[in-house]
């Protein structure tokens, strides 16, 4: 195996590590309860936070995007008006995030740097829109909730994926130049 092939495999692995962080971020706490509210939730961990969604207070101390998905999925079918519209928008954003992350994984596996970079940037844009939406509506950064540590994994994952994509692009260009000079 030549050095160029080895480099491309290493760069693919770097990109895949970024994608793994993007996937993990969906399951890590996106929102974290603040001091007194966290204490209340943990002291009453077995009580129901939301009967409809089946979430206990203990689970509500740290809410992942997957759990927000469950909450908004309930809202799509059980709310009307503005609350239903908000729920639909959030579900669409979550689905876009999932699709773009999946496409990042596919393009990393087939070592296609340019589409990988494009879908990584699209994933990052969706993350920024979600963060803006959650903050603007007061869902996060309010008296009860702040950003959870999982929130930062989105940015780390997107950055690592982008580094892998750029390295794949460079390796591809070098391989083309090297192949052209041998002809």
| Assigned CATH class of 3-182 | mainly alpha
Which residue, chain included where needed, has tokens 């702040």? 146
Residue-range domain boundaries for the chain: 3-182
Percent of the residues in the chain that have a pLDDT greater than 90, as a whole number: 79
What's the pLDDT at 126? 97
What pTM was computed for the model? 0.88
Give start and end residues of each alpha helix (H) in 28-112. 35-43, 57-60, 65-78, 82-109
- Given a contact cutoff of 8 angstroms between Cβ atoms, the answer to whether 34 and 144 are in contact is yes
Give the total residue count for the chain.
Answer: 183
What's the pLDDT at 176? 83
What's the pLDDT at 1? 55
DSSP code of 44? T
Please report which confidence band the pLDDT of residue 65 belongs to, taking 50, 70 and 90 as the band edges. Answer: very high
Nearest CA to 15 out of 169, 168, 170, 161 is that of 161
Please report which confidence band the pLDDT of residue 59 belongs to, taking 50, 70 and 90 as the band edges. Answer: very high
The SS3 of residue 45 is coil
pLDDT tens digits, 72-82: 999 888 888 88
Instruction: Determine the Cα–Cα distance for residues 3 and 34; give it in Å rounded to an integer.
Output: 51
Average of per-residue pLDDT values in the chain? 92
Question: Does the pLDDT at position 183 exceed 70?
Answer: no
Ramachandran area for residue 81 (φ above 0: left; ψ -120 to 50: alpha; else beta): left
Segment 119-142 mean pLDDT = 95
């Amino acid at each position: 195996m030549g050095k160029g092939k080895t480099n491309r495999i290493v760069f693919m692995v770097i990109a895949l590590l970024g994608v793994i962080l993007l996937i993990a971020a969906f399951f890590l706490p996106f929102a974290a309860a603040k001091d007194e509210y966290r204490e209340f939730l943990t002291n009453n961990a077995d009580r129901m936070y939301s009967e409809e969604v089946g979430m206990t207070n203990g689970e509500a101390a740290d809410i992942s995007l997957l759990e927000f998905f469950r909450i908004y999925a309930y809202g799509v079918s059980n709310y009307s008006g503005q609350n239903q519209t908000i729920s639909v928008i959030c579900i669409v954003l979550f689905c876009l995030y999932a699709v773009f992350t999946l496409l990042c994984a596919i393009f990393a596996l087939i070592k296609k740097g340019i589409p990988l970079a494009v879908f990584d940037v699209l994933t990052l844009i969706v993350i920024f829109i979600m963060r803006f939406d959650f903050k603007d509506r007061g869902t996060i950064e309010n008296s009860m909730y702040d950003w959870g540590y999982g929130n930062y994994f989105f940015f780390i994952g997107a950055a690592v994926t982008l580094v892998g994509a750029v390295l794949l692009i460079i390796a591809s260009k070098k391989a083309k130049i090297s192949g052209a000079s041998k002809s």
